[in-house]
Amino acid sequence: MAETPDYIRLDKWLWQARFFKTRSLSAERVTKGKVRLNGTKTLKPGQRVRVTDVLTFPQGNEIRVVRVLSLGDRRGPASEAQQLYVDVDPASGD
């Protein structure tokens, strides 16, 4: 039986959580410095993301701040993707 990894690539997680339509688009956003991991700008699409990490990135006209709840296994339907994260209100400091 294979062990479940305790991390996933940042570009892959953003794609699986359906924030970006393609994995290459999520990787492009990361390499352009548009994504922060736990408050630190990252330029590596292969950066490791773990449960409880906080991601900050622009999406449309808003800034998204989400906490990772699960790493996921695949890019599933939107209802499944929404179980991978919780929105964090930046004003509340959560």
Classify residue 75: in a domain, yes or no: yes
Classify residue 37: in a domain, yes or no: yes
Render pLDDT for 66-94 as a digit per residue (tens, 0 to 9). Answer: 999 999 889 999 999 999 999 997 555 55
Render pLDDT for 26-64 as a digit per residue (tens, 0 to 9). Answer: 999 999 999 999 999 999 999 999 999 999 999 889 999
Classify residue 62: in a domain, yes or no: yes
pLDDT on residue 83: 95
Instruction: Return phi, psi of residue 7, to 5°.
Output: -150, 165
Classify residue 94: in a domain, yes or no: no
Classify residue 36: in a domain, yes or no: yes
Classify residue 2: in a domain, yes or no: no
Classify residue 77: in a domain, yes or no: yes
| 43 CB-side CA count, 13 A | 2
Residues of the domain holding 75: 8-87
Classify residue 92: in a domain, yes or no: no
**Nearest to 39, CA basis, from 59, 58, 19, 54:** 54
Number of domains present in the structure of the chain = 1
CATH of the domain at 25: 3.10.290.10
